[in-house]
Amino acid sequence: MIERRDFGSTGHESTVTLFGGVSLADVTQEEANRTLEVLLEYGVNHIDTSANYGDSELRIGPWMEEYRDRFFLATKTGERTYDEAKEDIRNSLNRLRVEQIDLLQLHNLIRPDEWETAFGENGALKAAIEAKEEGLVRFLGVTGHSLKVPKMHMKSLSEYDFDSVLLPYNYPLMQNEEYASDFEELLEVCRERGVAVQTIKSVARRRWHEGEKNRATWYKPLEDQKYVDRAVSWVLGRSDLFLNTVGDIDLLPKILDAASRFEERPSSGEMEKMRKEKKMEALWPE
């Protein structure tokens, strides 16, 4: 089975691998149900999806009717205004077939203009806080991509006591000194405040080259089990991080298998060797 850790200060012990619901964006219900069986096999108890992930919430809804008590359920809204976010939250509850969501996250909040709107008088944060006060959601978080995200999360945390953050983390990306420094600064603040830190892109190899895409992920992932093992173990070797699984249901078992066998973090030498062998690149260059 997969290790569990305290998910920040929520009181929930989540598996170190959180199921990335984006992998259900464009699959049939039958394929989604087979994926659920994989999650149950490995004891994964935390689902992370979004209103923006195609049909993902619709595919998860039938699971919740039978297995709601087995999962910490997280979703996201990408809306920035109060009215739109309020509607989005209620639509997510309907699609997921639940009366309460455990974690609602403001999705990919990195652009300064969007941040100002979301945190404004009639912004999405107001709708999220209101939903929490009404008991529709239990906890609030913020997510983001790109090199700017650690600093934007710091800004968000300075304005509101979010329960979680989500951002990219993998070996090639952390060779960017500025990003690595910003990430560590954010991580320290999250440690001090009991904020859960979720990571994405653990097995990202590089961006796709023209004509080669054969996976649901928007980036080319590592696929050989030995390399997946190394990439997953490198993330899980940080005791206060969670790893969101890959956005492709066919690669999911490899991620979970790696996590179930995790023992120790690979050395920098091992990671550098893999980076060169697989010609790995940061998804966001300078």
Looking at this protein, which amino acid is placed at residue 59?
A: R
- What does the alpha-carbon distance between residue 247 and residue 25 come to, in Å, rounded to a whole number? 9
Q: Is residue 285 part of a domain?
A: no
Give residue 152's pLDDT band: very low, low, confident or very high (50, 70, 90).
Answer: very high
For residue 261, the Cα-to-chain-centroid distance in whole angstroms is: 21
Q: Provide the token pair at 110.
A: 């990195």
In the chain, what percentage of residues exceed pLDDT 90? 99
Main-chain phi, psi angles of 219, to 5 degrees: -125, 160
Q: Is residue 68 part of a domain?
A: yes
Give residue 239's pLDDT band: very low, low, confident or very high (50, 70, 90).
Answer: very high
In the chain, which ranges are continuous DSSP H helix?
A: 29-42, 56-67, 82-96, 112-118, 124-133, 149-159, 177-193, 225-236, 252-260, 268-277
pLDDT digits (tens, 9 = 90+) for 98-148: 999 999 999 999 999 999 999 999 999 999 999 999 999 999 999 999 999
- Is the pLDDT at 3 greater than 90? The verdict is yes
- What does the alpha-carbon distance between residue 23 and residue 38 come to, in Å, rounded to a whole number? 13
Query: Is 110 strand, coil or helix?
Result: coil
Sequence-separated (6 or more) residues with CB below 8 Å from residue 67: 36, 40
Average pLDDT over residues 6-19: 98
Q: How high is the pLDDT of residue 1?
A: 82
* Domain span holding position 104: 4-277
Give residue 286's pLDDT band: very low, low, confident or very high (50, 70, 90).
Answer: low
Here the CATH number for the domain that contains residue 268 is: 3.20.20.100
Average pLDDT over residues 256-263: 97
Q: Provide the token pair at 19.
A: 């199921």
Q: Is residue 272 part of a domain?
A: yes
Average pLDDT over residues 4-22: 98
C-alpha distances (whole Å) from 218 to each of 18, 33, 286 are: 19, 23, 19
- What does the alpha-carbon distance between residue 204 and residue 168 come to, in Å, rounded to a whole number? 10
- Is the pLDDT at 72 greater than 70? The verdict is yes
Q: Is residue 76 part of a domain?
A: yes
140 pairs with which residues across the strands? 104
- What does the alpha-carbon distance between residue 194 and residue 161 come to, in Å, rounded to a whole number? 10
CB atoms near residue 243 (< 10 Å): 29
Q: How high is the pLDDT of residue 172?
A: 96
Q: Is residue 282 part of a domain?
A: no
pLDDT digits (tens, 9 = 90+) for 157-213: 999 999 999 999 999 999 999 999 999 999 999 999 999 999 999 999 999 999 999
The number of folded domains in the chain is 1
Q: Is residue 283 part of a domain?
A: no
Mean pLDDT of all residues belonging to the chain: 97
Q: Is residue 185 part of a domain?
A: yes
Q: Is residue 61 part of a domain?
A: yes
